Amino acid sequence: MEDIYLQAQRPKYDCLLFDLDDTLYPLSTGLAAECRKNIGDYMIEKLGIDPTKIDALCNLLYKNYGTTMAGLRAIGYDFNYDEYHAFVHGRLPYENLKPDPVLRSLLMSLPYRKIIFTNADKIHSVKVLSRLGLEDCFEGIICFETLNPVHKNTVSDDEDDVAFIGSPMNSSPAATSNSESGIFDIIAHFSKPNPGSELPKTPIVCKPSDHAMERALEIANLSPQRTLFFEDSVRNTQAGKRVGLHTVLVGTSQRVKGADYALESIHNLREAIPQLWEASEKKSEVSSISGKVAVETSVTA
Ligand SMILES: [Mg+2]
């Protein structure tokens, strides 16, 4: 009989940090495609953007700001964040997400802290986890609202200000940004032969910005060198690497720069990274003194 205690060094990781969409379920569910379509519809219907510009605009905003939403705010559109999320996520085919007992038992057998880190909003995140039957597998969710909390208006104590959730501008909700004036023309900007690097800044904190990555580590009290980060997005994976995380690219077996591992599917976890279970050979008495974790606790939808 092997003396397992001899090889039971300190486990390599304390925490597994998971992106949600297209990481814990596959692209084939169709949610991502629907979501992109809804974002385009929102831009046309609610922001009055020319339908012929949607594709180019979405690409540029996503590329330069991490999410289309963050980009829309940067170039001058103002809108209510909750309304935006309800519009783009509200009509997603959630019924395509089925309980995933295989993933569930994989997660349950891993003796580490497990946290979700997503750019999506809380309602969507909870709904997805609940559909997958994973709602109790995670210690918490770092989501849009975690990184973009509503700040009390410091200028005035007026109670009414608190009602303008996620909308610090003084716009009335109905008349948001229909005029083209005041909107930075990012398409024209990038069609110049030599576009300057100065782009308007976004107030939204989201992956893959270093700030978002660092905030997440801080909020969950994680040491990046002791955390394994799962992501389907190459640039988010690389952002993780920049802040010192160990990284797993999910959705392809093609490893890229910045990814320590690549998995076609999260279901391949045990085959691809068996070391994750080696630590559990020894008595897995995970300390529950997890510091003050200010992450959203997952609640049942
Ligand atoms: Mg994702």
Query: Please, what are the domains in the chain?
Result: 1-27+99-150+203-301 (3.40.50.1000), 31-92+169-202 (1.10.150.450)
Compute the mean pLDDT over every residue in the chain, rounded to the nearest whole number. Answer: 85
Residues 6+ positions from 277 with CB-CB distance below 8 Å: 109, 110, 270
Q: Is the pLDDT of residue 173 over 70?
A: no
Please tell me the distance from the alpha carbon of residue 2 to that of residue 278, in angstroms, as a whole number. Answer: 13
pLDDT at 4 over 60: no
* From 100-104, 168-172, 224-228, 265-269, the region with the lowest mean pLDDT: 168-172
What residues sit around ligand 1, an ion, with C-beta below 5 angstroms? 19, 21-22, 232
Per-residue confidence at 99, pLDDT binned at 50, 70, 90? very high
In this predicted structure, the answer to whether residue 181 has a pLDDT above a threshold of 50 is yes
pLDDT digits (tens, 9 = 90+) for 112-144: 999 999 999 999 999 999 999 999 999 999 999
pLDDT tier, 30 (very low <50, low <70, confident <90, very high otherwise): very high
CA 30 to ligand 1 center in whole angstroms: 13
pTM: 0.82
Q: Is the pLDDT of residue 301 over 70?
A: no
Distance from Cα 276 to the centre of ligand 1, integer Å? 22
